[in-house]
Amino acid sequence: MTTDSVPGSWRHYGDAALPGPLAAALDLFAERGYEGASIREIASRAGLSVPGLYHHYPSKQALLVALTQGSMVDLLDRSRRALADAGPAPREQFDAVVESLLRFHMFRREQAFVASTEMRSMEPRAREAFVGLRDEQQRILDSIVQEGAAAGEFRTSYPGDASRAVTTMCVAVAGWYRPDGPLSPDALVDRYLAIARGSVGAD
């Protein structure tokens, strides 16, 4: 597998380039959780006063929403572009979207980790919006697996369950992947694609 490092590619990941307050909030939410991080600490880490932070983000909740919504929008955009680049066959589309999920949860692991663990901390309207984006992402993969099963390309008898299991596996990567670990990104993608194909009966 050759990783496409061309800027603009769905496979390409440069620096997240978050604004200072969001970068500080992300670090603290990942280290201590949403409840364990204070506005004062976030402002200090961002090099701002508390009033200065509030000028950009009116509350700690606003910081969480900006991080999690931005994370899901980025993931969805990459998944759609991966799908558009894939061939017409369900197997090609499946591989592309699963690879996109895996790479996102490796290269944006802190954002992905905070988004998945702090949904509990979102206020109802923010949680509803986040779940809507998450469900939209899931529907992309669900549709591919269902079409592949209907066409006889995937042997699973449970396409919906298999699709959700594959997504759960990819999301979990954010909890343990480290850049200095034993697997390179490409090697991890190759290994997990084999597991994902087995889950839907496409191996």
- pLDDT of residue 21 exceeding 50: yes
Cα–Cα distance measured from residue 181 to residue 109, given in angstroms and rounded to the nearest whole number: 14
What CATH number should be reported for the domain whose range is 62-200?
1.10.357.10
Calculate mean pLDDT across residues 171-195. Answer: 94
Range in 6-20, 39-53, 75-89 with the lowest mean pLDDT: 6-20
- pLDDT of residue 5 exceeding 70: no
Averaged pLDDT score across all residues of the chain = 94
pLDDT band at 1 (very low <50, low <70, confident <90, very high): very low
| Burial (Cβ within 10 Å: 0-12, 13-18, ≥19) of residue 159 | buried
Output the DSSP codes for 151-170: TTSS--S-HHHHHHHHHHHH
Cα–Cα distance measured from residue 9 to residue 6, given in angstroms and rounded to the nearest whole number: 6
- pLDDT of residue 203 exceeding 80: no
118-141 pLDDT tens trace:
999 999 999 999 999 999 999 999
**Domain spans in the chain, listed from the N-terminal domain onward:** 62-200
- pLDDT of residue 65 exceeding 90: yes
Q: What is the pTM of this model?
A: 0.92
pLDDT band at 8 (very low <50, low <70, confident <90, very high): confident
- pLDDT of residue 34 exceeding 60: yes
Query: What is the reported pLDDT for 2?
Result: 45
